[in-house]
């Protein structure tokens, strides 16, 4: 069997989950000399010292820490671990997971060329039934987890079935990941997976979920905290902030791909300009809502343009709070992340633009709520339309040329290596 680099990220309040994961790696891997890389993104439980004490139990364990006051974030720390991994095959595990016996053998046997392989998750009954997961309650507290019972159960559940699906935990070849550019650091709290999935579809990379390799997943510990499901004020606050962050991340996804799905089809987003005449008569929040569906928004009123742009000023605040970024931290470290420049999306102009591929024109004096319905399926409408001029309610559609961008590889800003330490 080839050696695997297992990469694991962990943060606050995850020590007990991480210790359980490491116990399962020690017990259930067939080969004992795989590389294990653990990224400590934030530590309030002495996680580093505990991991140092556990290192002698593994032949090749490395711990990555950093010098930022805040968290590095999911997308970035996963990319760092892949970059540091020394083997061609990489298997990513979340710290709130427990692997089944023979996990390394199973993922190696199921991994194909140009493929990202997902193992199947067994989860407690917190999210409802799904064809991609198995619902079985092994508890919500890692301290009371019965490893023997889990091992027996998980082996019995294994079979040769597979689905075309993507969700952590994932196993892949390093060159596959590098060819995609990894996770986009634009997505700070969610949707990084969905964005990667779409780029895989664009590139022809196979997404495969196997039922031969299984993990128990406590669910949402990293993103929402270990007590997210409890009637706890702190947990409720964090959950509400995460929901607000999710809205922003979804907008980023739609801005790139035109609509949302998690791998059900290859998406096309066409290059569309949107000109609003008499824009002082329309709500800036409506403009804000419609913007992700188009490439550029033209407004004929400077004041409205300023008002709409001001709505993006605090967009990073939810992620910053959840990742422990102070205003100063973000100011100093935002250079390490992809960030959208909304000033390039909005443009002031008194006149209809002359150069465009597809142009939507709306006179705000004639706007009705029904006009917004076009945007729900805008790019499918364009996909099924020939060049020409059309009308949808009060919106004029002028299609000159249909151009869609095929994005596969993204480029992230480089992280300062001096901020990282490997133990």
- Compute the distance between CA of residue 165 and CA of residue 178 in angstroms, rounded to an integer: 20
- Compute the distance between CA of residue 271 and CA of residue 411 in angstroms, rounded to an integer: 21
- Same domain (yes/no): 183, 156: yes
- Compute the distance between CA of residue 48 and CA of residue 38 in angstroms, rounded to an integer: 10
- Compute the distance between CA of residue 249 and CA of residue 244 in angstroms, rounded to an integer: 9
Please, which residues bridge with residue 358 across strands? 272, 399
CB 382 within 8 A of CB 310: no
CB 201 within 8 A of CB 266: yes
- Same domain (yes/no): 206, 327: no
pLDDT (tens digit per residue) in 74-91: 899 999 999 999 999 999
- Same domain (yes/no): 305, 335: yes
Output phi, psi for 284, to 5 deg. -55, -30
Strands 115-123 and 206-217: parallel
Locate all alpha helices (DSSP H) within 111-232, ordered by sequence: 147-157, 174-180, 192-203, 221-224
Residue 16 lies in a domain: yes
Residue 248 lies in a domain: yes
- Same domain (yes/no): 388, 416: no
Output phi, psi for 30, to 5 deg. -75, -35
Q: Give the residue from 79, 74, 76, 46 showing the smallest Cα distance to 180.
A: 79
Please state, as a whole number, how many other Cβ atoms lie within 10 Å of the Cβ of residue 306: 13
Q: Which residue has the tokens 């689905």?
A: 163
Dig out the tokens for 301 from the structure.
């009123």
Residue 299 lies in a domain: yes
CB 406 within 8 A of CB 200: no
- Same domain (yes/no): 172, 299: no
Q: Which domain holds residue 327?
A: 272-399
- Same domain (yes/no): 244, 132: yes
Dig out the tokens for 391 from the structure.
């009308």
- Same domain (yes/no): 342, 248: no
Residue 266 lies in a domain: no
Please, which residues bridge with residue 163 across strands? 209
Q: Give the residue from 103, 131, 253 showing the smallest Cα distance to 193.
A: 253
Locate all alpha helices (DSSP H) within 29-73, ordered by sequence: 47-54
pTM given for the model:
0.94
CB 302 within 8 A of CB 246: no
The pLDDT value given to residue 268: 95
The pLDDT value given to residue 237: 85
- Same domain (yes/no): 88, 130: yes
Residue 263 lies in a domain: no
Residue 179 lies in a domain: yes
- Same domain (yes/no): 204, 321: no
- Compute the distance between CA of residue 60 and CA of residue 62 in angstroms, rounded to an integer: 7
The pLDDT value given to residue 406: 86
8-state DSSP, 44:
S
Helix, strand, coil proportions of the chain in percent (round to 5)? 40, 20, 40
> How many domains is the chain partitioned into structurally?
2
- Same domain (yes/no): 280, 237: no
Exposure of 11 in the CB half-sphere (CA atoms within 13 A): 20
Q: How far is CA 230 from the centre of its chain?
A: 25
Residue 265 lies in a domain: no
Q: Is 365 left (phi over 0), alpha (psi -120 to 50) or beta?
A: alpha
The pLDDT value given to residue 236: 81
Please, which residues bridge with residue 247 across strands? none
Q: Is 139 left (phi over 0), alpha (psi -120 to 50) or beta?
A: left
Q: Which segments in the chain show pLDDT lower than 50?
A: none
In three-state secondary structure terms, 75 is helix
- Same domain (yes/no): 9, 133: yes
Residue 406 lies in a domain: no
In three-state secondary structure terms, 62 is strand
- Same domain (yes/no): 49, 190: yes
Residues 6+ apart with CB under 8 A from 152: none
Strands 35-40 and 61-66: parallel
């Amino acid at each position: 069997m080839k050696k695997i680099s297992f990469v694991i990220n962990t943060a606050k309040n995850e020590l007990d989950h991480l210790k359980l994961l490491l116990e399962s790696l020690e017990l259930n891997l067939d080969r004992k000399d795989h590389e294990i890389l653990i990224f400590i993104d934030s530590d309030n439980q002495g996680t580093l010292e505990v991991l140092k004490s556990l290192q002698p139990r593994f032949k090749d364990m490395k711990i990555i820490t950093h010098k930022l006051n805040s968290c590095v974030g999911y997308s970035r720390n996963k990319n760092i671990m892949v970059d540091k991994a020394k083997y061609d095959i990489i298997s990513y595990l979340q710290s709130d997971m427990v692997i089944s016996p023979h996990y390394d053998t199973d993922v190696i046997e199921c991994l194909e060329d140009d493929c990202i392989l997902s193992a199947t998750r067994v989860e407690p009954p917190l999210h409802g039934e799904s064809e991609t997961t198995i619902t079985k309650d092994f508890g919500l507290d890692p301290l009371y987890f019965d490893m023997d019972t889990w091992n027996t159960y998980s082996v019995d559940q294994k079979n040769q079935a597979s689905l075309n699906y993507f969700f952590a935990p994932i196993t892949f070849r390093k060159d596959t990941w590098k060819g995609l550019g990894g996770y986009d650091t634009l997505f700070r709290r969610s949707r990084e997976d969905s964005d990667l999935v779409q780029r895989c579809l664009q590139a022809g990379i196979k997404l495969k979920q196997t039922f031969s390799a299984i993990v128990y997943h406590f669910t949402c510990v990293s993103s929402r905290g270990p007590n997210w499901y409890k009637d706890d004020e702190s947990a409720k606050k964090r959950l509400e902030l995460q929901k607000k962050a999710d809205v922003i991340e979804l907008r980023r996804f739609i801005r790139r791909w035109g609509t949302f799905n998690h791998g059900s089809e290859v998406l096309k987003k066409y290059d569309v300009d949107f000109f609003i005449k008499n824009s002082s008569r329309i709500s800036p929040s409506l403009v804000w809502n419609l913007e992700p569906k188009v490439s550029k928004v033209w407004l004929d009123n400077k004041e409205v343009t300023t008002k709409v742009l001001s709505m993006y000023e605090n967009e990073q605040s939810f992620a910053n709070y959840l990742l422990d970024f102070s205003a100063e931290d973000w100011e100093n470290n935002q250079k390490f992340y992809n960030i959208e420049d909304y000033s390039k999306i909005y443009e002031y102009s008194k006149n209809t633009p002359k150069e465009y591929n597809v142009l939507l024109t709306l006179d705000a004096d004639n706007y009705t709520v029904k006009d917004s319905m076009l945007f729900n399926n805008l790019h499918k409408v364009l996909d099924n339309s020939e060049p020409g001029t059309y009308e949808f309610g009060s919106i004029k559609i002028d299609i000159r040329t249909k151009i869609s961008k095929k994005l596969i590889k993204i480029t992230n800003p480089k992280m300062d290596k001096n901020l990282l330490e490997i133990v």
